[in-house]
C-alpha cells in the first residue's frame, strides 16, 4: 500500500472527528468517508481490513481521548498507563471500521443504486453490532453527527439513529461513485444514484419540517408542570468527601428553594447529588428531605443504594435515583441496570479471578431490574442514569412501559472540559426525538437542559456553572406511542438481515473467497 492510500484512510478518520461535538460540523460527515472509499477501491479485502482500521483508529483516538483525562485526573492512573488504555479502546472500536473496509469491495461492485443501499446497510449493521456486542458502546454513531440539524433528525421517530447513519453513508457512497465515474471517464454516469439520494434527502427534510411543526404544536397542548434542574457543579475531587456532604446538599437545597420561588413543583438533581445512602444516616437524609419540604416540591435525586440478602451473596450496591415528595417521604426508586464496564463493575471477574487484582478501586455495583418508570402524580418518570442515555433501547423500553417523560441524571465532571460532555449531551437529545417525549437532563457540572420532543433545546446550562433552569414539562399520553417506540430498531434489523442473506449467498457461491 502506498503512502497516499494510507493517508486517504487516515484523512477519513480525521475529518470525521470534526463532525462531532464540540466542533460539531455535522455536514462534513456527508463526504468524510469518500477518501476511505477511494483508498479501498481496487484493494484486496485484507488490505481493506487494514485501511478501515486506520480510519477508525484515527477517528476514535480523536473522539474518546477524554478517557485519558478521566483516568489520570480522577482515577489516579499514570499517563504512561492511561494513554495506552485509551489507544487500546480506540483500537477495539476501530475493528468495526475494519469490518467495513473488509466488506466494502463486495458491495461496491454491485449495480448502481443497489450498491449505495448495500454499502449503507453494511454500515448500519456494523454500528448495530458495536452498540450491542460485549455490553455495547454506541458512542459517536454516524447518525449523531446530525443532531444540530433538527429537520434531518426527525426521521429518528421511525428509524432510530440507524436511519440517520444510513442516510449519511448513502450520501458518501453516492459522492464516491459519482466522482469515481468522472475520474475514470466511465461511459455510464451514476445519474440514477444521485437522483435517488437527492430524493431521499429531500424526503427526509420534508418529513422533518412537517414533523417539527406537528410535534411542537402537539407538545404545546400537553398538560404538564413547571420543573427545575439544579446544577450544583460540585468538583469531582471533593464530591465524595464526608466532611463536605452537608455543604453539597446545602448547595442543592438553596438552588431548589430559589427554583420553587419561580413556581417549580418538581426538582431534578444530578447523578449521586446525594453522595451517601439515603435512610442510613438520619442527619444526612433529613438534609435532603428537608430540601423537598422547604421547596414544597418533589425532588428526584441520584444517590447510591444497597440491599442485603444473606442467602444470595450478602450486600448489593446500586447506582440509583430516588423520588422524594413535598412532605419529605421517599415515594420511588430506580436502580441503574446498564452499568459502565470497568467503571461500575468488572466483567468476567467470576471466571478470571486475576482480573480483580488488575482493577482495584473499580466500582462494584449490581444491575437493577431493568427499564421501568417511577410513579409520579404528574406522569410516570423514565429515568436514565448517565451512560444509559446513549442506549436507545433503554429509553424506548422505559417509554413503552409507561414513562410520560424522560430524565437523564449524570455526573460528567469526570470528563472536565473535554469533548465528552458535549458528545454525551447530543446523544441524549436523540432519545427525546425517537420517543417524542420531553427530556430533562441534570448533569453535575453540565450540560443540563430541557429538551422538547422535537429535539429542540428549550433551555440549557454551560459547563461548570452553579445554577438552575426552570421550564414547563409536557406529559406524553402513554397510549400514543410512535413507530420507533412501538417497534424499536426494525430498520437496523432489516439492514442486518439484508447483509447476512447477501453474504451467506455469496459464501455459498464461493464469491467471498475470491480477491482476499
- With H, G, I as helix, E, B as strand and everything else as coil, classify residue 82: helix
Residues in the chain, total? 516
| Same domain, residue pair 193 and 270 | no
Q: Nearest-CA neighbor of 374 among 345, 338, 336, 410?
A: 336
In whole angstroms, how far apart are CA 365 and each of 211, 341, 373?
41, 10, 20
Strand order from edge to edge, sheet including 457-460? 381-385, 405-410, 439-443, 449-451, 457-460
| Same domain, residue pair 94 and 18 | yes
Give a yes or no: residue 353 inside a domain: no
At 457-483, the pLDDT tens digits run 999 999 999 999 999 999 987 668 999
Q: What is the mean pLDDT of residues 175-204?
A: 84
Q: What is the mean pLDDT of residues 228-256?
A: 92
What CATH number does the domain containing 296 carry?
3.60.110.10
Helix, strand, coil percentages (3-state) for the chain, rounded to 5, are 55, 15, 35
| Same domain, residue pair 410 and 449 | yes
Whose grid coordinates read 482480573?
Answer: 355
| Same domain, residue pair 324 and 431 | yes
Give a yes or no: residue 314 inside a domain: no
| Statement: residue 191 has pLDDT above 90 | no
| Same domain, residue pair 154 and 121 | yes
Residue 400 falls in the annotated catalytic set: no
Q: What is the mean pLDDT of residues 221-228?
A: 93
| Same domain, residue pair 169 and 232 | no
At 281-336, the pLDDT tens digits run 888 999 999 999 999 999 999 999 988 776 556 788 899 999 999 999 999 999 99
Residue 361's pLDDT is 40
| Statement: residue 509 has pLDDT above 90 | no
Give a yes or no: residue 386 inside a domain: yes
Residue 495 falls in the annotated catalytic set: no
Among 40-44, 214-218, 405-409, 489-493, the minimum mean pLDDT is found in 40-44
pTM exceeding 0.85: yes
The domain tally of the chain equals: 2
Residue 311's pLDDT is 58
| Same domain, residue pair 241 and 324 | yes
Give 353 or 198, the one with higher predicted confidence: 198
| Statement: residue 173 has pLDDT above 60 | yes
| Same domain, residue pair 124 and 261 | no
The active-site residue out of 239, 253, 336, 400 is: 336
Question: How many Å is the Cα radius of gyration of the chain?
Answer: 24
Quote the cell numbers at residue 279: 435512610
- With H, G, I as helix, E, B as strand and everything else as coil, classify residue 488: coil
Rounded to the nearest 10 degrees, the angle between the axes of helix 114-132 and helix 490-508 is 110
At 382-413, the pLDDT tens digits run 999 998 999 999 999 999 999 999 999 999 99
Residue 237 CB coordination number (10 Å): 10
Give a yes or no: residue 361 inside a domain: no
Residue 494's pLDDT is 98
- Asked if 138 and 431 touch (Cβ cutoff 8 Å), the reply is no
At 84-122, the pLDDT tens digits run 999 999 999 999 999 999 999 888 777 777 899 999 999
Residue 435's pLDDT is 97
Give a yes or no: residue 195 inside a domain: yes
DSSP 176-243: HHHHHHHHTT-SS--HHHHHHHHHHHHHHHHHHHHHHHHHHHHHHHS-EEEEEEEE----TTTTT-GG
| Same domain, residue pair 147 and 22 | yes
Give a yes or no: residue 175 inside a domain: yes
Residue 50's pLDDT is 97
The active-site residue out of 127, 271, 426, 471 is: 271
| Same domain, residue pair 464 and 499 | no
| Same domain, residue pair 275 and 126 | no
Q: Is 408 exposed, middle or buried (0-12, 13-18, 19+ CB in 10 A)?
A: buried
Using CA atoms, how far apart are residues 123 and 104, in angstroms rounded to an integer? 9
Angle at 215 between CA 431 and CA 430, to 5 degrees: 15
| Same domain, residue pair 141 and 12 | yes
Give a yes or no: residue 293 inside a domain: yes
459-468 CB contacts, 8 Å cutoff, 24+ apart = 461/229, 461/231, 463/417, 463/421, 464/233, 464/417, 465/231, 465/233, 466/231, 466/232, 466/233, 466/251, 466/255, 467/231, 467/233, 467/255, 468/228, 468/229, 468/230, 468/231, 468/255, 468/256, 468/258, 468/259
| Statement: residue 65 has pLDDT above 90 | yes
Give a yes or no: residue 343 inside a domain: no
Residue 514's pLDDT is 59
The active-site residue out of 253, 386, 400, 471 is: 386
Identify the domain containing residue 79 by its residue range: 3-218+490-508
Amino acid at each position: 500500500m502506498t503512502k497516499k492510500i494510507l493517508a486517504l484512510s487516515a484523512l477519513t478518520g480525521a475529518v470525521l472527528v470534526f463532525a462531532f461535538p464540540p466542533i460539531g460540523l455535522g455536514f462534513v460527515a456527508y463526504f468524510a468517508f469518500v477518501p476511505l472509499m477511494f483508498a479501498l477501491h481496487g484493494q484486496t479485502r485484507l488490505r481493506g481490513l487494514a485501511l478501515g482500521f486506520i480510519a477508525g483508529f484515527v477517528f476514535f483516538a480523536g473522539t474518546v481521548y477524554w478517557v485519558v483525562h478521566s483516568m489520570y485526573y480522577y482515577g489516579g492512573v499514570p499517563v504512561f498507563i492511561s494513554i495506552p488504555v485509551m489507544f487500546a479502546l480506540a483500537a477495539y472500536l476501530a475493528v468495526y471500521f475494519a469490518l467495513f473496509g473488509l466488506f466494502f469491495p463486495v458491495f461496491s461492485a454491485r449495480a448502481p443504486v443497489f450498491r449505495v443501499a448495500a454499502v449503507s446497510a453494511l454500515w448500519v449493521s456494523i454500528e448495530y453490532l458495536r452498540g450491542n456486542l460485549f455490553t455495547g458502546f454506541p458512542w459517536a454513531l454516524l447518525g449523531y453527527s446530525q443532531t444540530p440539524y433538527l429537520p434531518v433528525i426527525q426521521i429518528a421517530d421511525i428509524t432510530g439513529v440507524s436511519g440517520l447513519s444510513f442516510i449519511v453513508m448513502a450520501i458518501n457512497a453516492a459522492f464516491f461513485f459519482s466522482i469515481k465515474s468522472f475520474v475514470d471517464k466511465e461511459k455510464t454516469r451514476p445519474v440514477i444514484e444521485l437522483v435517488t439520494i437527492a430524493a431521499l434527502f429531500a424526503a427526509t427534510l420534508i418529513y422533518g419540517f412537517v414533523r417539527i411543526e406537528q410535534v411542537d404544536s402537539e407538545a404545546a397542548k400537553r398538560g404538564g408542570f413547571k420543573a427545575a434542574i439544579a446544577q450544583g457543579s460540585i468538583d469531582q475531587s471533593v464530591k465524595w468527601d464526608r466532611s463536605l456532604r452537608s455543604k453539597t446538599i446545602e448547595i442543592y437545597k438553596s438552588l431548589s428553594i430559589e427554583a420553587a420561588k419561580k413556581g417549580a413543583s418538581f426538582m431534578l438533581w444530578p447523578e449521586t447529588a446525594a453522595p451517601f445512602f439515603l435512610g442510613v444516616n438520619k442527619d444526612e437524609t433529613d438534609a435532603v428531605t428537608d430540601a423537598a419540604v422547604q421547596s414544597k416540591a418533589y425532588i428526584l435525586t441520584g444517590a447510591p443504594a444497597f440491599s442485603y440478602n444473606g442467602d444470595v451473596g450478602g450486600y448489593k450496591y446500586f447506582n440509583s435515583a430516588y423520588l422524594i415528595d413535598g412532605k419529605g417521604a421517599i415515594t420511588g426508586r430506580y436502580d441503574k441496570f446498564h452499568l459502565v464496564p470497568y467503571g461500575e463493575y468488572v466483567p468476567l471477574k467470576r471466571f478470571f479471578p486475576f482480573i480483580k487484582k488488575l482493577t482495584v478501586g473499580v466500582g462494584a455495583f449490581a444491575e437493577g431490574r431493568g427499564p421501568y418508570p417511577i410513579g409520579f402524580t404528574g406522569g410516570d418518570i423514565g429515568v436514565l442514569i448517565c451512560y444509559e442515555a446513549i442506549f436507545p433501547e433503554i429509553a424506548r423500553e422505559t417509554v413503552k412501559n409507561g414513562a410520560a417523560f424522560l430524565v437523564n441524571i449524570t455526573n460528567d465532571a469526570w470528563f472536565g472540559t473535554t469533548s465528552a460532555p458535549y458528545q454525551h449531551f447530543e446523544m441524549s437529545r436523540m432519545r427525546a426525538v425517537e420517543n417524542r417525549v420531553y427530556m430533562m437532563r441534570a448533569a453535575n457540572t453540565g450540560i443540563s437542559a430541557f429538551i422538547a420532543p422535537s429535539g429542540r433545546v428549550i433551555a440549557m446550562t454551560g459547563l461548570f456553572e452553579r445554577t438552575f433552569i426552570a421550564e414547563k414539562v409536557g406529559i406524553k399520553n402513554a397510549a400514543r406511542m410512535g413507530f420507533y417506540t412501538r417497534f424499536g430498531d426494525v430498520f437496523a434489523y432489516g439492514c442486518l438481515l439484508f447483509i447476512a442473506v447477501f453474504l451467506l449467498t455469496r459464501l455459498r457461491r464461493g464469491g467471498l473467497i475470491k480477491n482476499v
